[in-house]
Amino acid sequence: MNHSEFFKLIKKGLPCGAYLLHGEEEYVKEQALKAVENTVEEDFRPFNYAILNKPAPQELYESCGTLPLFSDKRFVVCSELADGVEAAKYARVIDELPAETALLFVFKGKLAANSSILKLVKKTGQEVVFDKLSPQERAAWCIKHCGEAGVLLDGSCARILVNAVGDDMANIVSETDKLIDFVGPGNAVTPQDISVCIRTAVDVRIFDMLDMFTYGKPGDGILALHALLDESNEPMSVAAFLTSRFKLMLEARRGIDSGRQKREVASRMEGNQFANEKAYDAARRFTQKELMGLISDLSDTSFLKISGTMKDDKYLELVLLKHEWRQFPV
């Protein structure tokens, strides 16, 4: 099931049994665990809600076997598995899970399809996947969150907000709270408020900077590069990030040249869907040869810094300015 289905299940009263929570969206995953915890009467949470970090199989077995106090249900959260312990050794915990216990295995990131713990839980339990939220879901969350604080955020501004911040919900929460404080209750958010208040995610700004070059505005592109460097972003870090973006774009370009569509290409690439789709859009303006050349040039940044041949910030400018940018219509 997905996160929405899991939240509905929590509202109805999460049935006992084994669950496996994993996926890229960590913030929503944390909110789901809080929602589960909030279903337990506060006075009895120390007895009926246990969190175990990398427990050994026997420790987890004993915790699950503890009877709930003044309740018909006990929750046990297993955060990861004990280091070096095979997942199969937890089989007894799942097989002999008491009828009064809900066991939640929680993992950071998304497990591989062949994961042994995933296969183990799915035999008798349920898998809950926390994928990155879609742009529409992120925008809807921002509108709702602002509304709860007495601030009006319309759909257009919500889209501007999530496009600026990116797909990390923790960042979206932080930036939306900042925007709420800036605007104040009883007021409506404007695009100008977002421009003043929100710090755009670095990966979004990198792609925006590349857009300036490909749309025939290299001067604006260099100013955007300087703005990134002026905000405590080390040139080496920006170079490394640029390299990773060009590598992602190269992967997307190969998919494009193979005749595959955007959704298929993005789903096959590593990383989150938001970055993959941005890379796909940008890759359409490059050839494989051009991208490999940019990656090769940027890889020299570290050598030039160490050797003292050139300042790394100046070298970044040189790499971007020497490329023969083919201009695209806006």
Question: What are the tens digits of pLDDT across the range 96-109?
Answer: 999 999 999 999 98
Average pLDDT, the chain: 86
> Does 115 lie in the same domain as 9?
yes
Taking residues 186-208, what's their average pLDDT? 79
**109 located within any domain:** yes
**191 located within any domain:** no
Separation between Cα atoms, residue 132 and residue 204, nearest integer Å? 16
Q: So what's the pLDDT on residue 282?
A: 84
Yes or no: say if 120 and 88 are a contact pair by the CB < 8 Å rule. Answer: yes
**237 located within any domain:** yes
- How many domains are there within the chain? 3
Q: So what's the pLDDT on residue 320?
A: 79
Q: So what's the pLDDT on residue 275?
A: 72
Taking residues 106-123, what's their average pLDDT? 90
Separation between Cα atoms, residue 295 and residue 238, nearest integer Å? 13
Query: pLDDT tens across 231-267, in order?
Result: 656 777 777 878 888 888 899 999 999 998 888 888 8
Q: Say yes or no to pLDDT of 205 above 80.
A: no
> Does 13 lie in the same domain as 124?
yes
Strand, helix or coil for residue 17: strand
Query: Residue 29's closest CA among 84, 86, 111?
Result: 111
Q: So what's the pLDDT on residue 222?
A: 84
Q: So what's the pLDDT on residue 127?
A: 96
- Least confident span in 9-23, 76-90, 273-287, 312-326: 312-326
Between 301 and 188, residue with greater pLDDT: 188
Between 197 and 129, residue with greater pLDDT: 129
Q: Which of 91, 107, 129 is the last residue of a domain?
A: 129
Between 202 and 84, residue with greater pLDDT: 84
Yes or no: say if 189 and 152 are a contact pair by the CB < 8 Å rule. Answer: yes
**328 located within any domain:** no
Yes or no: say if 166 and 204 are a contact pair by the CB < 8 Å rule. Answer: yes
The first and second tokens of residue 117, run together, are: 């713990």
Contacts of 286 (CB under 8 A, 6+ apart): 249, 253
> Does 297 lie in the same domain as 261?
yes
Question: What domain range is 113 assigned to?
Answer: 3-129
Residue 298 binned pLDDT confidence (cut-offs 50, 70, 90): confident
Strand, helix or coil for residue 32: helix
> Does 148 lie in the same domain as 38?
no
Query: Residue 254's closest CA among 280, 293, 234, 236?
Result: 280
**196 located within any domain:** no
Q: So what's the pLDDT on residue 194?
A: 86
**What CATH number is attached to the domain comprising 211?**
1.20.272.10
**327 located within any domain:** no
Separation between Cα atoms, residue 330 and residue 322, nearest integer Å? 22
Q: Say yes or no to pLDDT of 307 above 60.
A: no
Q: So what's the pLDDT on residue 189?
A: 92
Yes or no: say if 138 and 157 are a contact pair by the CB < 8 Å rule. Answer: no
Query: Residue 64's closest CA among 2, 128, 125, 107?
Result: 125
Contacts of 238 (CB under 8 A, 6+ apart): 206, 225, 228, 229, 316
Highest mean pLDDT pick, 22-26, 84-88, 314-318: 22-26
The first and second tokens of residue 317, run together, are: 């400018």
Separation between Cα atoms, residue 295 and residue 299, nearest integer Å? 6
Separation between Cα atoms, residue 125 and residue 102, nearest integer Å? 10
Residue type for position 264 = E
Yes or no: say if 147 and 154 are a contact pair by the CB < 8 Å rule. Answer: no
- The residues pairing with 75 across neighbouring beta strands, listed in sequence order, are 49, 102
**90 located within any domain:** yes
> Does 7 lie in the same domain as 103?
yes
CA distances from 254 to 208, 242, 248, 261 (A): 22, 18, 10, 11
Q: So what's the pLDDT on residue 138?
A: 93
> Does 224 lie in the same domain as 181?
no
Q: So what's the pLDDT on residue 171?
A: 86
The first and second tokens of residue 159, run together, are: 């889209």
> Does 140 lie in the same domain as 63?
no
